[in-house]
Structure 1
Amino acid sequence: MVTYTVTVHTGTRLFSGTSSYIYIQLRGTEAESEEKNLNDHFSLGFKGGSVRTVEVECKEFLGELIHVKLSSKKFLNIDDQWFCDKILVTTPGNDEILFPCYRWLGCGEDLVLRHAKASLVFQDINPISQRHRMRQLEDLQEAFRFVDTSAEWDVYAEGMPHVNNYDSASALPSEVQFSFTKEIEFAYTALSQMIALKLERLADSKMNWGSINELDRLFSENNETIDYVQKHWDEDEFFGYQFLNGLNPMMIQRCSKLPENFPVTEEMVKDSLGGSTLEVEMKKGKIFLCDYKILDGLVGNVVHGRKQYLTAPLVLLYCDSHGMMMPIAIQLGQKAGVLHTIFLPTDSKTDWQLAKIFVRAAEFSVFEVDIHLLRTHLLAEVFTMATLRNFPFLHPLFKLLIRHTRYTLQINIMARDRLISENGAITTYSGIGGAALDELLVRATASLTYSSLCLPDNISERGLEEVPHYFYRDDGLKLWNVINKYVEGVLQHYYKSDDDVKKDTELQSWISEIFTNGFKGKKSTGIPETFQAVKDLIKFVTMVIFTVTAQHAAVNNGQFEFGAWMPNLPTALRKRPPVKKGQTNEISVLETLPDVGTTVNGMAVLKLLSTKATDHYPLGASLEELFDEEVPCTLIEDFRKDLNELTVAIEERNKKLELPYTYLDPRNVDNSVAI
């Protein structure tokens, strides 16, 4: 007889324990054990967080262990699920082998767990291993299935990335649903946030604001950033700062030639340029452009029974001698002429103020739909579905990516249902809701490129390498490099040559689904259709992890801070943009801004979208022990050290700033799109 020692770790999440009978069977290359009941004589079931050690006696040595099989049987006819973290098996030769689980096991079900050592498909040569690997992929593709068999992926709206086809979050496989803690605390409705903000009494009001200062009464909590925005929202310096470090740091670009439809003259901007000229400052690389042409022609939504107005502004900016990004000209439309006059800082206070308000409203539309929804949430869903459908648990890319998919499917289902559906909060309370939102998504998807998702390439393409005070770029590039170093180390450990990449059929299926369903099969996007080299795989995986962690944090976490003071980020505007100068005053500005009810509902949505959950896992943190080999385990520890060092550097930099930039501090970056 030979003895194997089995140590069973029950999860710590709520209701992880079970009263059911749990059985285990060990399978090796030479033989398999008898089924063993893991319940001992003195305890019933398994308590959450418990660790139990049991000896499994075998008639003979089993050979190299391939897998363990867990099964569950009811106690007293009670159907009680069990959440197993991991199984450790110590062999007769004192080798300890890790079998990761981190899944629920229901009564009458089986779970087959492979050891933690990762392998590529062509390396898994044992016939038993091969059969299990194929069965697992078949099961995964059945679990994460799609109704439209002709296209395999479900279509939410034509022209945008495909999505999963679950009608409700409760229909998702249990492993990808919210934890009980998050489910209880996260009532995904704008109403819940309005109640928390003590604003529900104002939700249905169609009254105008009597003055900008009336907005003060909406705030019951102290927040340094909100206070700063409230004090500085109408200052040109802060208006320009937000193009670099606000919610959308992705649109501004260096301007070497004015667009033909934006006829700014030297006379218009001579005062703003301190005696210099546009031509001279362009050659110095000091002139910048932000163009909202993607909104051109879109028809505004109806909010509170009243039509709202969308514009497609052009904004010209100048990086002055102090390194401040200052707006010097604004045109509130794409067609030059009498209907779209060019507003200047030298115009009347209310003319210039209202022009900036229309830009900030356009910013809300582009930011929420293109930069936030499409480029983080919807792409994260594509990456998640492709990962879950194409990588068995033994694949190194499954182990590398799975922690970055946490909660993404459920959060997106709930967002589609409660935010952008026919009666969703954004549809109901924003100018970009309804048909305009769908059209903007289609346009934004058509403009997606691989280089725009790779931060180093994106910064270079926009000509922003040398712009001062661009903290999103500075922190983002450092974080990109930290992620890239980690990804490179892990992937080079498993892919020894480009040929290994080419032979990995599971990897090729993964990128094929992403190319086809996320980027519409368009070669023009630059997204690879296949992988031919290790370096190309490293860059792509770096982009995936950066997108669902750092990029999402950068554009998501400050929504309430930058948008709580409504004039800085109005969700809708009730009057047409002015076509002539000298026709605005404080009253016309207030009549243009959202009414009271639209304001507080918009605040509630922004609060909802940027509230950190108590079960937040920052980048680098994970409860799952998926690797047990020395090289990847060491790389994970090095990754965490690099992240901690970046946190320290950002903290030191922020001590010197009037408005600290904290969104890319690794402590504030979620491991996945989980909010």
Structure 2
Amino acid sequence: MPSYTVTVSTGSQWFAGTDDYIYITLVGTERCSDRTLLDKPLYNDFERGAVDSYGVSVGEDLGVVEMVRIEKKKYWVQDDWYCRYITVKTPAGDYLEFPCFRWLVGDKEVQLRDGRARLPQDDKTMQTRQHRYKELEWRRKEYRWSEWQPGFPMNIDAKRYSELPRDIQFDSEKGMDFILNYTKAIENLCVNQFMHMFQSSWGDLDDFERIFVRIKNTISEYVMKHWKEDFIFGYQFLNGVNPVIIRKCLELPEKFPVTHHMVAPCLERDLTLEEEIQAGNIYIADYEALEGISPNRTDPCTLQYLAAPICLLYRNAVNKIMPLAIQLGQTPGDDCPIYLPSDAKYDWLLAKIWVRSADFHIHQTVTHLLRTHLMSEVFGVAMYRQLPAVHPVYKLLIPHVRFTIAINTKAREQLICECGIFDKANGTGGGGHVQLIQKAMKTLTFRSMCFPDAIRARGVDSTEELPTYFYRDDGYKVWDAIKSFVSAVVNIYYSSDETVEADEEIQAFVKDVCSFGMQDFDYCEFPKSLKSREELVEYLTVAIFTGSAQHAAVNSGQYDWCSWIPNAPSTMRRPPPTQKGVADVQLIVDSLPDRGRSCWHLGAVWALSQYQDNELYLGMYPDEHFIEKPVKQAMESFRRELADIGSAITKRNEGKRLPFYYLSPDKIPNSVAL
């Protein structure tokens, strides 16, 4: 009687093993095997991390084994099981691989395709086509769209983390609870001693060092010592935590009437301001998105304030970006003066602090939350709804949406919800952050998600003009590496542009992103279909880059650049000044966050900047969804290219007081998971 050898791998995460009964049925092109209990007498099967082998006897030839059916039945109490993969050795000695990488919860049956990726048009039998259809039918019931706030990108339909499908929840050891993590951060940083003085001001600027006692970070300490300097203020527009705001100034906007006479003492090339603009030496940072946003009023005892400043920047003779002029509102006038480096020391310092506070709000809410977290969730939900596990694009994308839906659901439940942690420290809490995202959505287009397009649109693509824009330079390298890898995979499975057009599942995925995820907003310009391999490659590169490199670039440096409170105030407790000559140290201290909010802020940026235990970085794919040799070769090439990029970044950073390492591939997590 012919016998097949079945090998079953159980996951190594906590509670992955099971004591439940596990049955298997081999599904061949001719017939199916009998339903067989996988059990070894006197042996504890399916333990965490175990790889167990069993014999399955059959009476007649099954033909080609196309699928395996796994069933889990309760033994004593329901005991979830995480199955990594199953391999089948045929009587002829051939090995077949059946990737699983999912949880079996309750009395569950899962039917697995063999590991070869297939497009829908590749499936010729009714059995395989029906399998695809049923899998997607079930997934669309599990993964439903919902709108958390009007005008937002759509998200998973789950009000609480516990409602999520088990497959997209955190592994137990990687669970994220914002409240516990923030509390732990506050304790680790020894700032809990200040929490009882929640609304009291600090004594002076140096007093902020009292919550800086646990700093062991070169960049943070440098910021603490040099934050008042114009150089460090300007440098952050290039390589700080929000390096996406600066753009070339082609002409001065009417709302910002800076004259040559105002800034002449700062110009170094014997040119007028207009000539400097024409020469490409003037840049601008405009925070107009904050205009009209409601400041936090969740604490009636303390008023909080927002501003929508405009900052003019100058590339000086040694290629440093220096501030030239600052206006703290969008409407010029006697009550909205233009501040200059030649003004009184504290007038100028306070104006810069207001810009840094505005930058913090735009960074946290738009650059970080909207454009990485929420957008990655859109790609993830659409992927689960429209692409079966056998589809090559599913296999390609799934490592890059790992835990993203889970972390976002936790954020909606604990962090950015009404009375959540966000409200405790941030000037845009209490609903302002919702208004800001609704406003920012009107400028979120598909092309703005494409890294090279976004760089060119801001006019900052010249390495000669901005030779120290490391975010741009490293971003280009990582983008190109991802695109090259994606192109290799796409070309393995798609023989022509017509193959892309004929793939009804990939077309449904793209349409779901636009029509549901982005709610078909006219201004988003996301494609509803793809007509070529080139378009597919770019689309998938956007999805992967957004969830990996872009998130790392705007998340990992939060503690570096935002832990020194005066450099990134999360709120301001005095309104922006309406005239010059009124600022002094006391006004600055009274404007900055109080002790309690400073502590919450510091705990937040510390917690959000930590890498997770057992983090998976770009190019690491321990779950082998792909089994084909050409794809594995493409992965190896990808890893080699990433390693070369990392080595070049390490070499460039040697000896630098302000190293830029956020886009070093060995520090880029595969997905938005924190």
State the alpha-carbon separation in 2 of the partners of residues 110 and 56 from structure 1: 18
SS in 2 for 1:302: coil
Q: Which amino acid aligns with 1:252?
A: I
Displacement of 1:381: 0.9
Aligned residue among 199, 203, 210 for 1:210: 203
Q: Which amino acid aligns with 2:24?
A: I
Counterpart in 1 of 2:272? 277
State the alpha-carbon separation in 2 of the partners of residues 184 and 649 from structure 1: 33
Whether 2:259 is the aligned partner of 1:239: answer no
Counterpart in 2 of 1:407? 403
Q: Which amino acid aligns with 1:213?
A: D
Deviations 1:61-84 (A, max 9, x none): 211221101112333x23222211
Deviations 1:531-568 (A, max 9, x none): 11111111010011000000000001111221110000
Residues 188 and 608, structure 1, Cα contact 8 Å, conserved in 2: no
SS in 1 for 2:136: helix
Displacement of 1:44: 3.0
4+ runs deviating over 6 angstroms: none
Deviations 1:32-82 (A, max 9, x none): 11122221123133221111222212122211221101112333x232222
SS in 1 for 2:266: coil
Change (3 A) 1:185 1:519: closer
Residues 189 and 418, structure 1, Cα contact 8 Å, conserved in 2: no
Q: Which amino acid aligns with 1:166?
A: A
Change (3 A) 1:303 1:230: farther
Counterpart in 2 of 1:669? 668
Counterpart in 1 of 2:219? 225
**Consecutive unaligned residues in structure 2, runs of 5 or more:** none
Deviations 1:434-480 (A, max 9, x none): 23221111110111112211111111111111212100001100000
Residues 181 and 615, structure 1, Cα contact 8 Å, conserved in 2: no
Number of corresponding residues? 667
Residues 448 and 519, structure 1, Cα contact 8 Å, conserved in 2: no
State the alpha-carbon separation in 1 of the partners of residues 638 and 180 from structure 2: 33
Within 5 A, what are the aligned runs for 1:311-350? 311-350=307-346
Deviations 1:371-415 (A, max 9, x none): 111000110111110011111000001000011111111111111
State the alpha-carbon separation in 1 of the partners of residues 341 and 240 from structure 2: 21
Residues 71 and 107, structure 1, Cα contact 8 Å, conserved in 2: no
State the alpha-carbon separation in 1 of the partners of residues 334 and 516 from structure 2: 44
Counterpart in 1 of 2:569? 570
Deviations 1:555-602 (A, max 9, x none): 011112211100000000011111211111111111111111111111
**Consecutive unaligned residues in structure 1, runs of 5 or more:** 146-152
Residues 530-539 or 11-20, more deviating: 11-20
Counterpart in 2 of 1:291? 286
Residues 20 and 45, structure 1, Cα contact 8 Å, conserved in 2: no
Whether 2:490 is the aligned partner of 1:494: answer no
Whether 2:163 is the aligned partner of 1:164: answer no
Within 5 A, what are the aligned runs for 1:85-484? 85-145=84-144, 153-183=145-175, 188-205=180-197, 206-219=199-212, 220-274=214-268, 275-302=270-297, 304=299, 305-466=301-462, 467-484=466-483
Counterpart in 2 of 1:46? 46
Residues 517-526 or 624-633, more deviating: 517-526
Within 5 A, what are the aligned runs for 1:589-668? 589-668=588-667
Q: Which amino acid aligns with 1:203?
A: M
Q: Which amino acid aligns with 1:239?
A: F
Q: Which amino acid aligns with 1:193?
A: A
SS in 2 for 1:300: coil
Displacement of 1:303: 5.8
State the alpha-carbon separation in 1 of the partners of residues 392 and 487 from structure 2: 12
State the alpha-carbon separation in 1 of the partners of residues 425 and 178 from structure 2: 21
Displacement of 1:201: 2.5
Displacement of 1:189: 4.9
Counterpart in 2 of 1:150? none
- Cα RMSD over matched residues? 1.4
Counterpart in 1 of 2:70? 70
SS in 2 for 1:445: helix
Change (3 A) 1:58 1:660: same
Q: Give the TM-score normalised by structure 2.
A: 0.97
State the alpha-carbon separation in 2 of the partners of residues 198 and 352 from structure 1: 32
State the alpha-carbon separation in 2 of the partners of residues 417 and 17 from structure 1: 29
Q: Give the TM-score normalised by structure 1.
A: 0.97
Q: Which amino acid aligns with 1:65?
A: V
Q: Which amino acid aligns with 2:447?
A: S
State the alpha-carbon separation in 2 of the partners of residues 113 and 493 from structure 1: 22
Residues 296 and 432, structure 2, Cα contact 8 Å, conserved in 1: yes
SS in 2 for 1:306: coil
State the alpha-carbon separation in 1 of the partners of residues 517 and 230 from structure 2: 38
Q: Which amino acid aligns with 1:173?
A: P
Q: Which amino acid aligns with 2:30?
A: E
Residues 655-664 or 287-296, more deviating: 655-664
Change (3 A) 1:422 1:656: same
Residues 45 and 52, structure 2, Cα contact 8 Å, conserved in 1: no
Change (3 A) 1:290 1:401: same
Deviations 1:422-445 (A, max 9, x none): 111112321111232211111101
State the alpha-carbon separation in 2 of the partners of residues 405 and 553 from structure 1: 14
Change (3 A) 1:135 1:632: same
State the alpha-carbon separation in 2 of the partners of residues 73 and 290 from structure 1: 60
State the alpha-carbon separation in 2 of the partners of residues 377 and 650 from structure 1: 26
